[in-house]
Amino acid sequence: MWVYEKKLLYPVEVTTCNPMLARYIMEQYGGADGELAAALRYMNQRYTVPDKVIGLLTDISTEEFSHLEMLATMIYKLTKDATPEQLEKAGLGAHFVNHGHSLFYENAGGVPFTTTYIQSKGDPIADLYEDIAAEEKARATYQWLIDISDDPGINDALRFLRERENIHSLRFREAVELLKDERDRKKIF
């Protein structure tokens, strides 16, 4: 199903050690509206949608996994040289005690990822509206991360991710219209 290339979807450059920024970026890594939740949501939903949109959900889910890889790279690069004291000052002391410098799916507040973040109703139109909302929430979060970051390399990658969320939202909107047209078409038996 996948072919893995040993390169990121978009380059991630980090100019300085910044555990506080890494903590904020964790919201998109393991939070309710983050990339892991989106990737799993879309991959799961693809089994209960009409054939016309299965490929769309698979494609976007796959891309969300690549976004997750970019976020992991950002977090790792922002924290790899941090001392335990710097991590503690950034609010990552408990994370360090539990995981060292290893990444762990949690949000910016340290709450572990949970599958309750994954929405799937089984109604294709309802699910696609949920997906549109998820993409818009992710877009907003990326903008807020850009607003608080002063790292030009991180901001460049975050802008890329923000724009991809816009594209995904548009693609899901197109799919809703396609399914609504099909639903509203007069059926004669």
CA proximity to 140, closest of 115, 158, 125: 158
Q: Which residues contact 100 (CB under 8 A, 6 or more apart)?
A: none
Q: Is 63 annotated in some ligand binding site?
A: no
Contacts 24+ apart (CB under 8 A), 175-182: 175/52, 175/53, 175/56, 175/128, 176/125, 176/128, 176/129, 176/132, 178/52, 178/53, 179/50, 179/52, 179/53, 179/124, 179/125, 179/128, 180/125, 182/50, 182/52
Q: Is 64 annotated in some ligand binding site?
A: yes
How far apart are the C-alpha atoms of 138 and 35, rounded to whole Å?
8
Q: Is 59 annotated in some ligand binding site?
A: yes
Sign (positive or negative) of CA dihedral 32, 162, 126, 52:
negative
Residue 187 DSSP code: -
Q: What angle do CA 133, 135, 138 make, to 5 degrees?
A: 110
Q: Is 51 annotated in some ligand binding site?
A: no
Q: Binding site residues for Mn(2+), as ranges?
A: 35, 64, 67, 135, 168
Q: Binding site residues, as ranges?
A: 35, 59, 64, 67, 135, 168
Q: Binding site residues for Ca(2+), as ranges?
A: 59
